[in-house]
């Protein structure tokens, strides 16, 4: 149809600067929990990830896309890493935008700033794992990592579970006071520890950009839940591969977990097979029991999938349109 006969259609634009106002941690948590469940039941699929070196500005650029047939969400996140942004332009180095499409007609529906959204959806993933896999009586939260993303992880975890204390270790110890300030701002005491000190933790979140393991099996007590969130690329590694053989391993998506996630090393070393890794959506759906004893170590390998971005972007657009904050462009 054309010549003015096509049904009215608008593109909703929600810029980066509005995301903080529009997206609560709770909305992000709910969207991620729901889409993990849809992925495990086969109702939502992630498409193969494209990631390319541009040969310009030393940038890495790519797409993460997917389709959630139940949620009616189709789209992609485009963006990547421009290492010179901060020094040359005063911009953050990670840049991304989400585009949503009408799954019935293929017409573009929305364009949403993707930077804060990425941090919040990643924090939501570890929190979803804490809700479904940590012991209910967990009291001490351990943090490995104290960079940009660690603060988001910490805030979300403290909102999800009533931890009494946060302990933290970081490769660059000078960064720990910044993380401690977040814990204290949320009314929970913080203590810097050495790696063996993490044995006190009931839940440990790892969120570093490391290519060699910091957290060893000897640093983890029985009954701990680990959320390993930093490893999202081939070669990165945060925890000793032997830990995955000791733990019951869960992930966002098995294909990513065993190739670019923390499980890549244990699988390559023959310590576990891909069939030992369960999508957390199966626990959310009730198809897998999750933790079955107080002594069990559970490990969530969060690699970051496109459907997380799309689910959260869709929630943002709904909220922005409802509050009259989206710019609507007739197409």
Rule CB under 6 A: say whether 298 interacts with ligand NAD.
Answer: no
In the bound state with ligand NAD, the residue whose beta carbon lies nearer, of 127 and 214, is 214
Q: Using CB under 6 A, which of 303, 314, 317, 326 touches ligand NAD?
A: 303
Rule CB under 6 A: say whether 304 interacts with ligand NAD.
Answer: yes
Q: Are 43 and 66 in contact (CB under 8 A)?
A: no
Please choose, out of 169-177, 188-196, 310-318, 322-330, the segment that lies near ligand NAD by the rule CB under 6 A.
Answer: 169-177
The interface with ligand NAD within residues 218-247 (CB under 6 A) comprises: 229-230, 232, 236
Q: Using CB under 6 A, which of 9, 26, 172, 323 touches ligand NAD?
A: 172
Query: What pairs with residue 327 in β-bridges?
Result: 13
The span from the CA of 292 to the CA of 290, in Å, is 6
Q: Using CB under 6 A, which of 28, 127, 170, 278 touches ligand NAD?
A: 170
Q: What are the angstrom distances between the C-alpha of 222 and each of 203, 251, 287?
A: 11, 20, 24
Rule CB under 6 A: say whether 93 interacts with ligand NAD.
Answer: no
Q: Are 144 and 215 in contact (CB under 8 A)?
A: yes
DSSP secondary structure string for all residues of 76-143: EEEEEE-TTHHHHHS--SEEEEEEEE-TTT--EEEEEE-HHHHHHHHHHHHHHHHHHHS-TT--EEEE
The span from the CA of 228 to the CA of 238, in Å, is 7
User: Which of 156, 98, 189, 168 lies closest to 302, judged by CA?
Assistant: 156
Determine how many CB atoms are found less than 10 A away from the CB of residue 90. Answer: 7
Q: Using CB under 6 A, which of 149, 160, 237, 278 touches ligand NAD?
A: 149
The span from the CA of 328 to the CA of 6, in Å, is 17
In the bound state with ligand NAD, the residue whose beta carbon lies nearer, of 14 and 146, is 146
Residue 133 dihedral angles phi and psi, to the nearest 5°: -125, -20
64 as an active site residue: the answer is no
Q: Which of 5, 26, 64, 77 is catalytic?
A: 77
Q: Using CB under 6 A, which of 148, 322, 323, 328 touches ligand NAD?
A: 148
In the bound state with ligand NAD, the residue whose beta carbon lies nearer, of 76 and 326, is 76
CB of 133 to ligand NAD, least distance (A): 16
In the bound state with ligand NAD, the residue whose beta carbon lies nearer, of 109 and 236, is 236
Determine how many CB atoms are found less than 10 A away from the CB of residue 322. Answer: 10
Q: Nearest-CB residue to ligand NAD?
A: 147
The interface with ligand NAD within residues 116-135 (CB under 6 A) comprises: 118, 122
Rule CB under 6 A: say whether 208 interacts with ligand NAD.
Answer: yes
Q: Are 20 and 26 in contact (CB under 8 A)?
A: no
Q: Using CB under 6 A, which of 171, 178, 197, 321 touches ligand NAD?
A: 171
List residues near ligand NAD by CB under 6 A.
118, 122, 145-150, 170-172, 175, 207-210, 214, 229-230, 232, 236, 302-304
Residues with catalytic roles: 77
């Amino acid at each position: 149809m054309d010549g003015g006969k096509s049904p009215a259609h608008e593109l909703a634009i929600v810029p980066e600067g509005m995301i903080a106002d529009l997206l609560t941690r709770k909305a992000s948590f709910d969207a991620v929990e729901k889409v993990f469940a849809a992925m495990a039941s086969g109702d939502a699929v992630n498409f193969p990830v494209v990631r390319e070196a541009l040969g310009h500005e030393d940038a890495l650029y790519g797409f993460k896309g997917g389709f959630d047939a139940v949620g009616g969400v189709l789209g992609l996140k485009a963006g990547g890493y421009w290492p010179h942004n901060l020094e040359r332009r005063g911009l953050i180095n990670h840049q991304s935008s989400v585009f949503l499409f009408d799954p019935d007609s293929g017409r573009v529906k929305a364009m949403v700033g993707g930077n804060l959204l990425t941090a919040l959806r990643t924090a939501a993933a570890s929190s979803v794992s804490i809700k479904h896999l940590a012991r209910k009586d967990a009291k001490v939260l351990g943090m490995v990592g104290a960079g940009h993303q660690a603060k988001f992880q910490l805030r979300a975890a403290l909102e999800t579970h009533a931890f009494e204390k946060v302990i933290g270790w970081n490769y660059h110890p000078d960064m720990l006071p910044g993380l401690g300030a977040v814990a204290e701002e949320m009314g929970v005491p913080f203590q810097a520890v050495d790696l063996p000190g993490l044995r006190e933790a009931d839940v440990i979140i790892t969120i570093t950009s490391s290519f060699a393991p910091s957290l060893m099996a000897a640093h983890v007590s029985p009954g701990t839940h680990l959320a390993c969130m930093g490893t999202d690329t081939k070669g990165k590694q945060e925890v000793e591969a032997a830990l995955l053989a000791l733990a019951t391993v869960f992930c966002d998506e098995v294909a990513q977990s065993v190739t670019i996630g923390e499980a890549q090393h244990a699988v390559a070393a023959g310590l576990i097979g891909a069939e030992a890794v369960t999508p957390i959506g199966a626990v959310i759906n009730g198809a897998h029991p999750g933790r079955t004893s107080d002594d069990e170590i559970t490990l969530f390998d969060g690699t970051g999938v496109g459907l997380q971005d799309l689910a959260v972007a869709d929630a943002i657009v709904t909220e922005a349109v409802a509050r009259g904050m989206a710019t609507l462009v007739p197409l």
